[in-house]
Each structure stands twice: as structure tokens, then as C-alpha cells.
Amino acid sequence: MFVYFVQSKHFLDNDPQYLKHQLEKSQAKGKDLFYRDFLCPLFFDGLARKERTAQGRKLFGLIPLSQRRHF
């Protein structure tokens, strides 16, 4: 649900259908690759880190980092 919320806010490469488009790309490469080749890297490299690797930036496109406020 969280990823759909983030997607609806255009936070995933500014694409409101980001997951659908990534699933289509994955299916074009082969069967049963979406979880291993896309979802795991999305959560562990794309969303869990402050800075992404070059490969992560290429795979995920623009994912804005959170803005922390210090009081």
C-alpha cells in the first residue's frame, strides 16, 4: 500500500503508473523476474538508503529523498 501511495504522489520517477510500467518491462525480459530484479532492489536500494548507487538511480529514475527538519 505504501508504494501505491508514493506512486500516486508521483514520487517514483514522476510516473503515476510506475509499478505497472516496471512490471511490463520486467515481463518483457522474462517470466518471474519482477520480485527478484525489481521489487527487492526497489525496497533495499531505492527506498531504504539516503543515497543510491548509479545502478539504483538508473533503475528507479527520480525518487526524491525525504527532507529532514532539524529543530
Tens of pLDDT, residue by residue over 37-71, are 888 888 887 777 777 777 777 777 776 665 544 44
pLDDT tens for each residue of 18-29: 999 999 999 999
Q: Tell me, what amino acid is at 9? A: K
Q: Which residues of 50-64 are buried (b: 16+ CB within 10 A; e: fewer)?
A: eebeeebeebbeebe
Question: Hey, what's the cell of 6?
Answer: 508514493
Whether this prediction's pTM lies above 0.95 is answered by: no
Domain boundaries, position 44: 31-60
Whether residue 10 lies inside any domain: the answer is no
Whether 50 is in a domain gets the answer yes
Across the chain, which distance is largest between two alpha carbons, in Å? 49
Q: Is 23 a member of any domain?
A: no
Number of domains observed in the structure of the chain: 1
For residue 22, being part of any structural domain is answered with no
Note whether residue 45 is domain-resident.
Answer: yes
Eight-class DSSP state of 70: -
- Give the pLDDT confidence score for residue 33 in this predicted structure: 94
